[in-house]
């Protein structure tokens, strides 16, 4: 893939149609000498419909500006994902801050030949900006059951739940229990940095309701993570927690680090595109960077029924 194609792809994955993206790229490559992120800030951010899309466009443009990351993405993003990958386990819809409906994401999953898709919208994201309160989540569960009747592909009822400053999850346990699959994620360090985030990671690894830790390095520096590596590996193995290899372009360095230092452990991993638009689901191809570096049996997405595996591991460890 060329720089121009990737530039267009990133625009399409966030705020623009293919035609718009082509026109914008023509202008960028012929008249603009600054970086993509500067260009985006100066000309494009205000054109995105939602804050979430603007944020995505900016993150992706920063990934584009980093030559190392750009080359990695270019080498795999148009290469079909491995046939062993049966589904995407991290997807947002317009029930939280995603741009497309559940149906639109499911249609795309069908096009990608998946056996399942896991809808994992944000919970409260407890910074005052409520994404999906518990009542809305319960409505979403009903909606998914309704939609499921029209599709053969399995729609997994998931949630991406945040961890509060005190280590609890930001949905009540009785609500979390309703989800088939729970991604626990750290999105905030509560202004307290590395040490706090490591403590929150430890809380997630020990929380009986959490199945997958989303983007496990978020808010944690590589040095701090490495210092605690043995402990993290042993707790994750003991509690049968799955660690996510997040496929968002802005997280490539994080994910590469995880594969490098944990890829040969006995930990289970899951691939998730963390898509907020339909087009972003094509980021599953980024898994090509790492799929041959991890034992296939340690990748949740290679199983026909990932939930069964999570359940089995739980029983085995009698949690």
Query: Of 247, 190, 240, 230, whose CA–CA distance to 210 is shortest?
Result: 240
CB of 54 to Zn ion, least distance (A): 16
Nearer to Zn ion, 8 or 258 (CB): 258
CB of 27 to Zn ion, least distance (A): 32
CB of 136 to Zn ion, least distance (A): 17
Nearer to Zn ion, 12 or 274 (CB): 274
DSSP category for residue 90: E
Touching Zn ion, residues 107-136 (CB under 5 A): none
Nearer to Zn ion, 8 or 89 (CB): 89
Touching Zn ion, residues 154-183 (CB under 5 A): 160
CB of 316 to Zn ion, least distance (A): 28
Query: In the chain, how many H helices and how many E strands?
Result: 13, 7
| 135 C-beta neighbours (distance < 10 Å), count | 9
**Part of the chain binding Zn ion (CB under 5 A), chosen from 7-15, 66-74, 144-152, 269-277:** 269-277
Cβ atoms 131, 124 nearer than 8 A: yes
CB of 63 to Zn ion, least distance (A): 16
Alpha helices, DSSP H only, in 206-305? 222-227, 229-238, 252-262
**Part of the chain binding Zn ion (CB under 5 A), chosen from 56-64, 102-110, 167-175, 272-280:** 272-280
**Part of the chain binding Zn ion (CB under 5 A), chosen from 20-28, 41-49, 101-109, 273-281:** 273-281
Asked if 287 is part of the footprint of Zn ion (rule: CB under 5 A), the reply reads: no
CB of 160 to Zn ion, least distance (A): 5
Alpha helices, DSSP H only, in the chain? 3-14, 18-31, 36-39, 51-65, 67-76, 102-111, 134-148, 173-176, 193-205, 222-227, 229-238, 252-262, 306-316
Contacts 24+ apart (CB under 8 A), 231-235: 231/202, 232/201, 232/202, 232/205, 233/262, 233/265, 233/267, 235/202, 235/205, 235/206
One of 131, 274, 284, 303 touching Zn ion (CB under 5 A): 274
One of 185, 207, 270, 302 touching Zn ion (CB under 5 A): 185
- CA atoms 286, 291, 294, 296: torsion sign: positive
Residue entry with tokens 């359940």: 311
Nearer to Zn ion, 160 or 254 (CB): 160
Element (H, E) at 213: strand 212-213
Nearer to Zn ion, 158 or 214 (CB): 214
CB of 116 to Zn ion, least distance (A): 17
Q: How many CA atoms lie within 13 A of 304 on its CB side?
A: 0
CB of 248 to Zn ion, least distance (A): 8
Nearer to Zn ion, 8 or 102 (CB): 102
- CA atoms 86, 90, 92, 95: torsion sign: positive
Residue entry with tokens 């087009």: 279
**Part of the chain binding Zn ion (CB under 5 A), chosen from 76-84, 198-206, 254-262, 271-279:** 271-279
Total residues in contact with Zn ion, by rule CB under 5 A? 4
Touching Zn ion, residues 209-238 (CB under 5 A): 214
- Mask 195-214, x = binds Zn ion (CB under 5 A)? -------------------x
Cα(114)–Cα(156) distance, integer angstroms: 12
Site residues for Zn ion per CB under 5 A: 160, 185, 214, 274
């Amino acid at each position: 893939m060329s720089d121009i194609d990737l530039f267009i792809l990133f625009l399409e994955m966030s705020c623009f149609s293919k035609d718009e993206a082509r026109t914008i790229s023509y202008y960028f490559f012929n008249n603009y000498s600054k970086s993509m992120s500067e260009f985006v800030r100066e000309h494009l951010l205000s054109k995105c419909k939602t804050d979430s899309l603007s944020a995505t466009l900016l993150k992706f443009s920063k990934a584009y500006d980093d030559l190392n990351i750009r080359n990695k993405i270019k080498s795999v993003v148009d290469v079909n994902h491995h046939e062993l990958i049966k589904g995407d386990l991290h997807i947002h819809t317009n029930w939280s801050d995603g741009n497309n409906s559940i149906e639109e994401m499911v249609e795309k999953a069908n096009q990608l030949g998946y056996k399942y898709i896991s809808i994992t919208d944000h919970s409260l994201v407890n910074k005052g900006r409520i994404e999906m309160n518990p009542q809305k989540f319960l409505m979403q569960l009903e909606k998914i059951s309704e939609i499921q009747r029209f599709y053969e592909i399995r729609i997994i009822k998931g949630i991406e739940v945040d961890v509060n400053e005190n280590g609890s999850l930001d949905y009540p346990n009785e609500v979390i229990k309703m989800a088939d699959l729970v991604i626990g994620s750290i999105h905030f360090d509560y202004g307290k940095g590395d040490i706090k985030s490591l403590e929150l990671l430890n809380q997630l690894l020990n929380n009986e309701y959490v199945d997958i830790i989303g983007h496990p390095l978020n808010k944690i520096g590589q040095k701090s993570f490495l210092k605690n590596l043995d402990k993290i590996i042993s707790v994750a193995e003991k509690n049968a927690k799955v660690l996510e290899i997040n496929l968002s372009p802005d997280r490539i360095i994080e994910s590469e680090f995880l594969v490098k230092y944990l890829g040969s452990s006995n930990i289970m991993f899951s691939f998730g595109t963390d898509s907020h638009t339909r087009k972003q689901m094509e980021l599953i191809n980024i898994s090509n960077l790492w799929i041959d570096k991890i034992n296939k049996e340690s990748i949740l997405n290679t199983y026909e029924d990932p939930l069964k595996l999570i359940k089995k591991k739980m029983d085995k460890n009698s949690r």
